[in-house]
């Protein structure tokens, strides 16, 4: 590594140490979990594909050796290969879904780091203006309280109405009849 790369890596590492917060740590943990899950799904998907490839290769060899007229005798090999592939596809989809979760957690972690960086700049700017910091903190505290109230209403709604469809329908009917 040249010294420019070392310098850039050092700056990036120091930036992470200075501005990483609980949300970014959580996203990093979720990122590692999603990577592990994707690797497991990929392993579970690739493992039976070898067997499917062997079945399909035996089918092709049988056709080459005995001719297309005797394809009926080799069809169980072909069908077994297709079945194994069909059984492996859900694990491939799971691996793809886990990789999408990895991308999502990378973006969320980067946005949390960016937000923490901008917050620190904001605090230093507010510290330079007389009296603005206290007023700003009061406004932010009030906004957080309002947001918590709204969040509790949403959580209450979700716990009441977003259950299984039958009990949710009963609750809605009961709420209408009141």
Q: Minimal CA–CA distance to 38: which of 87, 86, 103?
A: 103
pLDDT value of residue 17: 65
Q: Decide: 95 and 45 in contact? Cβ < 8 Å.
A: yes
- What is the mean predicted confidence (pLDDT) over 167-175? 54
**pLDDT digit string, tens, across residues 42-95:** 888 888 888 899 988 988 888 888 877 777 788 888 888 899 999 888 888 988
Distance in angstroms (rounded) separating the CA atoms of residues 160 and 58:
57
CA dihedral over 17, 18, 19, 22, signed as positive or negative? positive
pTM equals: 0.60
Q: Minimal CA–CA distance to 73: which of 85, 61, 82?
A: 61
What lies within 8 Å, CB to CB, of 113 at 6+ separation is 15, 16, 19, 20, 24
- What is the mean predicted confidence (pLDDT) over 109-117? 83
Q: Decide: 55 and 85 in contact? Cβ < 8 Å.
A: no
**pLDDT digit string, tens, across residues 86-111:** 988 888 898 888 888 888 888 888 88
Say which range, 19-23, 80-84, 174-178, has the weakest mean pLDDT: 174-178
Distance in angstroms (rounded) separating the CA atoms of residues 78 and 70:
13
**pLDDT of 7 higher than 90:** no
């Amino acid at each position: 590594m040249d010294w420019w790369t070392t310098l850039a890596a050092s700056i990036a590492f120091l930036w992470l140490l200075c501005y990483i917060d609980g949300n970014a740590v959580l996203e990093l943990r979720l990122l590692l979990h999603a990577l592990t899950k994707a690797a497991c799904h990929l392993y579970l998907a690739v493992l039976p594909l070898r067997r499917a490839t062997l079945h399909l290769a035996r089918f092709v060899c049988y056709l080459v050796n005995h001719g297309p007229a005797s394809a009926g005798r080799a069809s169980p090999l072909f069908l077994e290969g297709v079945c194994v592939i069909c059984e492996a596809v859900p694990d491939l989809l799971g691996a793809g879904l886990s990789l999408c979760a990895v991308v999502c957690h990378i973006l969320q972690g980067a946005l949390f780091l960016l937000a923490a960086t901008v917050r620190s700049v904001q605090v230093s700017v507010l510290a330079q203006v007389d009296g603005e910091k206290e007023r700003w903190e009061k406004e932010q505290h009030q906004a957080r309280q309002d947001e918590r109230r709204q969040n509790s209403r949403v959580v209450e709604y979700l716990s009441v109405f977003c259950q299984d469809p039958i009990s949710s329908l009963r609750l809605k009917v009961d709420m209408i009849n009141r």
